[in-house]
């Protein structure tokens, strides 16, 4: 699996990537507080995924405890800085608001939102859709729906699953 900088190198001029984080649920006990995600209300590991505009996954981060926020995890892995350095446009969900100039997130929804905000949000969702499908395929693997192994093994499992979809087997 290539490193973050190698994964971003092959992008052409005007290309963009889709970044999202996903929680891999784990079988943890209540004493494992760092693994408990308040957002999802379950224990798990947070994995950041970078995908091409066509939805092809380029890079998976190391798994971090589920308690960490997606933007914090992306900054810790250097995703925001690497994309800024390479001047790669990033499309992300609202969890990444405030990440920087190269990260585009949708506008907050208001009852009376101007039409150009609504159009931006529709275009943003349309461009991110292939990436969302790639993340859904990753989560469709039974082993990642509820990992019953040590949290140290999640990285290895995610990397292995990333190589297997070319075989046509999903679970």
Within 10 angstroms of residue 139's Cβ, the number of other Cβ atoms is 14
Give pLDDT, residue 120: 93
Arithmetic mean of pLDDT over the chain: 78
Lookup result for tokens 């087997």: 169
Quick check: 85 pLDDT over 90?
A: no
Ramachandran sector of residue 154 (left: φ over 0; alpha: ψ -120 to 50; beta: rest) = alpha
Q: Are 134 and 56 in contact (CB under 8 A)?
A: yes
Give pLDDT, residue 91: 93
Quick check: 166 pLDDT over 60?
A: no
Residue spans of the domains in the chain: they are 4-161
Quick check: 27 pLDDT over 50?
A: yes
Give pLDDT, residue 104: 92
Give pLDDT, residue 144: 65
Confidence of residue 124 (pLDDT cuts 50, 70, 90): very high
HEC-encoded secondary structure of the chain: CCCHHHHHHCCCCCCEEEEEEEEEEECCCCCCHHHEECCCCEEEEEEEEEEECCCCEEEECCCEECCCCHHHHHHHHCHHHHHHHCCCEEECCHHHCCCCCCEECCCCCCCCCCHHHHHHHHHHHHHHHHHHHHHHHHHCCHHHHCECCCHHHHHHHHHHHHHHHHHCCCC
Quick check: 108 pLDDT over 70?
A: yes
Give pLDDT, residue 14: 64
Quick check: 59 pLDDT over 80?
A: yes
Length of the chain: 171
Q: Are 106 and 33 in contact (CB under 8 A)?
A: no
Mean pLDDT of all residues in 98-114: 84
Give pLDDT, residue 133: 80
Quick check: 167 pLDDT over 60?
A: no
């Amino acid at each position: 699996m290539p490193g973050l900088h190698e994964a971003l190198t092959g992008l052409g001029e005007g290309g963009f990537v889709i970044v999202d984080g996903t929680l891999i649920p784990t079988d943890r006990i209540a004493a494992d507080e760092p693994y408990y995600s308040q957002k999802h209300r379950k224990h798990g590991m947070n994995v950041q995924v970078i995908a091409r505009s066509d939805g092809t996954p380029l890079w998976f981060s190391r798994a971090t405890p589920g308690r960490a926020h997606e933007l914090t995890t992306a900054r810790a892995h250097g995703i925001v800085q690497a994309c800024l350095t390479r001047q790669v446009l990033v499309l992300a969900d609202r969890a990444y608001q405030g990440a920087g100039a190269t990260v585009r997130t949708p506008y907050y929804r208001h009852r009376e939102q101007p039409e150009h905000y609504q159009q931006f949000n529709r275009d943003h969702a349309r461009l991110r859709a292939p990436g969302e499908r790639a993340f859904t395929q990753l989560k469709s693997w039974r082993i990642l729906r509820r990992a019953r192994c040590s949290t140290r093994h999640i990285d290895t499992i995610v990397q292995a699953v990333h190589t297997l979809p070319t075989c046509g087997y999903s679970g």
